A = this chain, B = another copy of it.
Amino acid sequence: MSETAEVTLYYAPGSVASLTLQIVLEEKGIEYTTKVVDEDKPSKEFKNLCPREEVPVLKHGDFVLQEFMAACIYLEETFGGTKLIPDDDITSEALVLQRMFSAQSIGVGDTTICSYWADYDDEDDEDYGPEDEEEDEDEDPDEEDAKEDLAEELMIWEEYLKEEGGPFIAGKEFSMADVSFFPVLAYVVWMGFQPKKAYPHLNDYYLAVRDRETVQAVWPVDWNKPCPEKDFLYLEEYLEEDEEEPKPKAKSNDKGKAKWKGKGKGKAKGKK
């Protein structure tokens, strides 16, 4: 496919995966048109492109890409602009790819961490939701687990920046690791995460990448207002007390889940 074939992005504003692909398009300086997908009522055109009905979908000429990470790699290999995956050193490349994929464990699809809050305001589920006054006094163990997971996971990223010196998430250059991780971070900040105190490197990183021209160009309008169901995520409460060595702590509430060993990517701990 040539660089001149038309590029169309089917996306939903505020979807983390959509934002990832939008940033790639901007960084590569690609001309593209956009079509907003109504997630509650996707068009026939969109359903035909993507039977799974998941945004984003990228079309380049007649070639349709349904998986946004594959689309990221495709755009990298097909277009010029900012180099987002190093191709001169296999260990640098592998580091970028690892962080690109790791970021998805926080924020994409029905994975543990962000999905908890994504379902938080589910009206059908009486156990959840801030309006459930009766249970206000009791802490929801699922919510506590999700917050602890998120606190620990974000500390891993804080450590990347701290130990490796940044300024970007896989080193000195802005890369596909940032394109993949930043939208997740921006989403949790919008949800109420305040990195300033316990995550100073993530805080500086967030501010710097948010102000990047290509990111501003595609910033979701809704994210300029507070999230309607904003929760204040004081995640430092969920970190180990020993702040000298803020490694993820061993869980006391290991529930011995996932006995079926075939379960996907094996988690050594029984995380939900």
Determine whether A31 belongs to the interface, using a CB cutoff of 8 Å to chain B: no
Do B261 and A102 touch across chains, with their CB atoms under 8 A apart?
no
A15–B190 Cα distance when bound, in Å, is 35
Kindly state the separation between the CA atoms of A136 and B54 in the bound complex, as whole angstroms. Answer: 34
Q: Is A143 an interface residue (CB 8 A)?
A: no
Residue on B nearest A48 in the bound complex, by CB: B247
| A residues 76-121 touching B (CB-CB < 8 Å) | 77-78, 90-91, 93-94, 97-98, 100-102, 104-105, 107-112, 114-115, 117-121
Contact with B along A121-139 (1 / 0, CB 8 A): 1111000000000000000
Check if A257 is an interface residue, CB within 8 A of chain B.
yes
Report how far A63 CA is from B264 CA in the complex, Å. 24
Q: Given the complex, which residues of B lie within 8 Å of A102, measured CB to CB?
A: 52, 66-67
Within A194-237, which residues are at the interface with B (CB < 8 Å)? 220, 222-223, 227, 229
The answer, yes or no, to whether A241 is at the interface (CB within 8 Å) is: no
Pair B67/A264 contact, Cβ less than 8 Å: no
Of the candidates A52, A66, A71, A227, the one having the most CB atoms from chain B within 10 angstroms of its own CB is A52
Minimum distance in angstroms from A239 CB to a CB of chain B? 13
Listed residue (A97, A100, A104, A264) with the most chain B CB atoms within 10 angstroms of its CB: A264
| Interchain CB contact under 8 A, B123 and A54 | no
Alpha-carbon distance A78/B97, docked complex (angstroms)? 14
Q: Which residues of B contact A54 (CB under 8 A)?
A: 265-268
Known contacts being A39-B261, A39-B268, is A52 close to B156, with CB within 8 Å?
yes
Interface footprint category on A: 35 or more
Cβ of A118 and Cβ of B258 under 8 Å apart? yes
A272 part of interface (Cβ distance < 8 Å): yes
Q: How far is the CA of A66 from the CA of B102 in the complex (A)?
A: 9
A46 at the interface (CB under 8 A from B): yes
Cβ–Cβ < 8 Å partners of A24 in chain B: none
A14 at the interface (CB under 8 A from B): yes
- Please tell me if the beta carbons of A73 and B52 are within 8 angstroms of each other in the complex: no
The answer to whether A262 touches B39, judged by C-beta atoms less than 8 angstroms apart, is: no
Whether A15 and B98, one on each chain, are in contact in the complex, defined by CB atoms closer than 8 angstroms, is: no
- Are A266 and B56 closer than 8 Å at their CB atoms? yes
| A109 with B105: CB separation less than 8 A | yes
Known pairs A42-B269, A77-B90 / 7 extra A-B pairs, C-beta < 8 Å:
A37-B266, A39-B267, A39-B270, A53-B268, A74-B94, A105-B109, A121-B259
5 contacts between A and B (CB under 8 A): A55-B265, A68-B265, A74-B94, A109-B111, A227-B262
- 7 closest Cβ pairs, A-B complex: A14-B261, A53-B268, A15-B266, A108-B264, A118-B263, A70-B97, A55-B266
